Amino acid sequence: MYFTTTDGTTLAYEDYGTGEPIVFVAGAMLNTEMWEYQIPYFTERGYRCIALDRRGHGRSDRPSTGYDIDTTADDLGALLDHLDLRGATLVGHSTGGAEIARYLARHGESRVARVVFLAAILPFMKATDDNPGGIPEAMLDALVASIRTDRGRWLARQSQIYFNSHLNPDVSPEHIDITYRQCLSTAPWATLHMQQAVFHCDNREALRGITVPTLIVHGALDFSAPAEVTGRRTAELMPQAVYKEYPTAGHGLYTSHAAEFNDDLLEFVKV
């Protein structure tokens, strides 16, 4: 299914089941297919599951503009408006978490009942004078250089640590390859610009303004979004939130720890 955003970009989404809506927002370079272990689980338990292909990802249009967090957050808002959703639980992985936080800051909470930040790149990655615990911009420069030089090799190296498969042997080489190919299918332009956008995105004030119930789930061994820079600091800014950290999980915990995460999410949405 498709809808058109305010700037004329056509975005793809999937919509399964009936009942209380759960909207899944993928991480950068990933698309609706990343949620294959969540969507059947929740539709079978009476929930409506909706997942979005971000611009430049999956089956959505590949425009040359709009790869900033404000615009992609507005795209999420356009989906919620298109479906006229009420009482939705928003689940955002990685960059998807940053987009949810920015959506709430820009559009409010009237359509939202709960928020889940899964390995989310929050609150602010970049090291600055008032964010000394962040990551030096030189590391982003090196990452961008790797993408520009050999995107396939960069993704292949990332995929080896994405799931911490040496600690989570149930994640098969075949599934790692599926994820690699999914990321490789994303527009190179989108890959490059989304990495830059989320690194510079400061959501500290946005997080302080969230009043709906919030669940934060992170992997202690997350290489892409280190827990000490992201998940734990997000929890500090949101003392009312529930924080869960999985000791052996990396960034791909929606697969490596699917059973545990699904149980935690189900318990959360039942409240």
* Domain boundaries along the sequence of the chain: 2-270
Report the pLDDT value the prediction gives residue 178, as an integer from 0 to 100.
95
- By the 10 Å C-beta count (0-12 exposed, 13-18 middle, 19+ buried), 35 is classed as buried
Q: What's the CA gap between 153 and 10, in Å, rounded?
A: 30
CATH class of 2-270: alpha beta
How big is the CA angle at 215 (ends 211 and 220), to the nearest 5 degrees? Answer: 135
Q: What's the CA gap between 82 and 11, in Å, rounded?
A: 11
Please report which confidence band the pLDDT of residue 166 belongs to, taking 50, 70 and 90 as the band edges.
confident
Is the pLDDT at 271 greater than 80? The verdict is: no
Contacts of 105 by beta carbon, 8 Å cutoff, 6+ apart: 203, 205, 206, 209
Is the pLDDT at 167 greater than 90? The verdict is: no
Spatial CA neighbour of 75 closest among 167, 14, 10: 10
Report the pLDDT value the prediction gives residue 165, as an integer from 0 to 100.
82
Alpha helices, DSSP H only, in 123-246?
137-162, 173-184, 188-199, 204-208, 231-237
Spatial strand order of the sheet with 112-118 comes to 2-4, 10-16, 48-52, 21-25, 88-93, 112-118, 214-219, 242-246
Regarding predicted confidence, which is higher, 167 or 42? 42
Average pLDDT over residues 235-248: 97
Residues with a known catalytic role: 94, 222, 251
Q: Give the total residue count for the chain.
A: 271
Report the pLDDT value the prediction gives residue 215, as an integer from 0 to 100.
98
Report the pLDDT value the prediction gives residue 81, as an integer from 0 to 100.
98
